[in-house]
Structure 1
Amino acid sequence: MYKWKEEPQVSIASAPLGDRWPDALYQHYLQAIPTAFHAKLNAYRNWQDRQRSLIGRLLLANLLHQYGYPTDTLKRLTIGRYGKPFIDSGFHFNIAHSADRIVCVASRDIAVGIDIELIRPIDFSDFESVMSSAQWQRITESEEPILEFWRHWTVKEAIAKADGRGIGLPLATISIESAVAMLGESRWYVAELEQWNGYCSFVAGNQPIEPGLVAFETYQFG
C-alpha cells in the first residue's frame, strides 16, 4: 500500500552517513538486505564505504516498499549489460553518495539517474577532456568556477547513470542547455536538487521532471 495519496513522478530518498555503527547494529541492518549482497558489502576496506553502500540499499528497500513492492523484491535485483543494476522494466532507480550524504532516486515511469557531490576545492584542469569547449569556457569564466565545475560534472554523471553506461560514456559529448541535455540522439531532462547544503546534486530523466511531482523522503539510520 502506498504511503502517498498520489504516486509521485519521481521519488528521492536520502540519509546521512553519520557515525560508525556498532557491529551489532551493522549486522541488524545487514539482515534487511539479501544475502547475495553481504560479501560485497563486507569486502569494503573502510567502514565509511561499507556503511554508505548498505545505507544506499536500505534507501532502495524503503522506496520499493513505498511503491508497494513486496519485501523480498531486492532479491530480484540483477546487473544489466553495462553494470547498471535493475529489478524489472517497470521500476527505475539509481543510488549515489558523497561524503556524508547518500541518495536514491526511483520512478515507475521515467528512466532516472542521480549524482551528488560535496562542493570542495579541486584542481579541475585534469577534467577538461570531459567537457566541451563551451562548457569549459563557462566553467573557467564563472565567478565561482569550483561550483560551476561541480554543477557540470554532476549533470553529466546523472545522465550517464540514467543512460545506464555510466563512466563508459564519452562525457564530453553530452551537451547541456539549461534543463535539457543531449547525448547523441537522446534527449535528457535535468533538475537541480538544492535540499542539501554544501552539496551539488542533479537528477536526470528521459522525460521532463516536474518539481511539484517529486517526493522527498529523509531517513536516519543508526
Structure 2
Amino acid sequence: MRSWNEEPQVSIASAPLGNCWPDALYRHYLQSVPTAFHAKLNAYRNWQDRQRSLIGRLLLAKLLRQYDFPAETLERLTIGRYGKPFIDSGFHFNIAHSADRIVCVASRDIVVGIDIELIRPIDFSDFESVMSPAQWQRIMGSEEPLLEFWRHWTVKEAIAKADGRGIGLPLATISIESAVAMLGENRWHVAELEQWNGYCSFVAGSQPIEPGLIAFETYQFG
C-alpha cells in the first residue's frame, strides 16, 4: 500500500548487501521474482554478485507496489536495444550497486538513471580519456582530487544509464555544468544524493529533479 501523501517526482529505494544469506533464505527471496530471472541469478559465481542482483530486483518490486502496479508487472520486464531493462512507457527505473549498497530509482514521468560508487582509492590517471580537458582540469585542481573524480565519474555513469546506452557512450563528450549536463543534443538534469556515508551517488533525469521531491525508502533483507 502506498505510504505517500502525494506521489513524489522520483522515488529511490536502497538496501545494504549484508551477509551471505543461508540457502533457504535465498530460495525464499528468489521465489519473489519471476522465474525468467532465476537462471541469470544462479549463474553468478560469487554470492555477492548474486545477492546484489536479487536485491536490486526486490527493490524494483517494492517500488512497483509503491506506484500501485500489480504484482505481476515485474513479469513484463524486457531488455531494450542497448541492454537497458524496461517495463512500459508509464514507468521508468534504473538499478545500481557498489560494495555494500544497492539502489533503485523510479519515476512515472521522468526518464531516470542512477549510479553509486564507494569512494575508494584508485589510480584515476587511466580515466583521463573519459573526461573533457575542462573536467580533467577541474579534477586535478580540486582540493580533493579523488572525491572530485568520483563525482564526475558517477554523474557520467548516471547519465549513460538514463540514456540507455551505458558505458559504450563517448563519456568524454558529456558536458557538466552544475545541475545540467549535455550529451549530444540531449539535456540531462542531475542531482547529487548524500544519503549514504562513504559513497558518491547521482541521479540523472530527463526533467529537472527537485531534491525535495525525491522520496527515499530503505529496506533490509536477510
CA distance, structure 2, for counterparts of residue 187 and residue 10 of structure 1:
18
Q: Which amino acid aligns with 1:74?
A: L
**Secondary structure in 2 matching 1:94:** strand
Runs of 4+ in 1 over 4 A off after TM superposition: none
CA distance, structure 1, for counterparts of residue 40 and residue 167 of structure 2:
21
CA distance, structure 2, for counterparts of residue 73 and residue 43 of structure 1:
24
**Secondary structure in 2 matching 1:72:** helix
Q: Which amino acid aligns with 1:146?
A: L
Measured against aligned partners, the alpha-carbon deviations of 1:87-122 in whole angstroms (never above 9, x if no partner) come to: 001100000000000000000010000000000000
- How far does residue 168 in structure 1 lie from its aligned partner after superposition? 1.4
Q: Does 1:42 align with 2:42?
A: yes
**Secondary structure in 1 matching 2:153:** helix
Q: Which amino acid aligns with 1:72?
A: E
TM-score (norm 2): 0.99
Measured against aligned partners, the alpha-carbon deviations of 1:141-177 in whole angstroms (never above 9, x if no partner) come to: 1110110000000000000000111111100000000
Structure-1 residue corresponding to 2:139? 139
Q: Which amino acid aligns with 1:217?
A: E
TM-score (norm 1): 0.99
Q: Does 1:163 align with 2:163?
A: yes
**Secondary structure in 1 matching 2:71:** coil
Structure-1 residue corresponding to 2:54? 54
**Secondary structure in 2 matching 1:113:** strand
- How far does residue 198 in structure 1 lie from its aligned partner after superposition? 0.1
Over the matched positions of the two proteins, sequence identity in percent amounts to 89
Q: Which amino acid aligns with 2:61?
A: A
**Secondary structure in 2 matching 1:176:** strand
CA distance, structure 2, for counterparts of residue 119 and residue 215 of structure 1:
24
- How far does residue 2 in structure 1 lie from its aligned partner after superposition? 2.6
Matches within 5 A, 1:1-222: 1-222=1-222
How many residue pairs match? The answer is 222
- How far does residue 211 in structure 1 lie from its aligned partner after superposition? 1.0
Structure 1 segments unaligned to the other structure (5+ residues): none
CA distance, structure 2, for counterparts of residue 53 and residue 197 of structure 1:
22
Q: Which amino acid aligns with 1:66?
A: Q
CA RMSD of aligned residues (A): 0.6
CA distance, structure 2, for counterparts of residue 212 and residue 134 of structure 1:
30
**Secondary structure in 2 matching 1:27:** helix
CA distance, structure 1, for counterparts of residue 56 and residue 31 of structure 2:
14
- How far does residue 3 in structure 1 lie from its aligned partner after superposition? 2.2
CA distance, structure 1, for counterparts of residue 210 and residue 125 of structure 2:
34
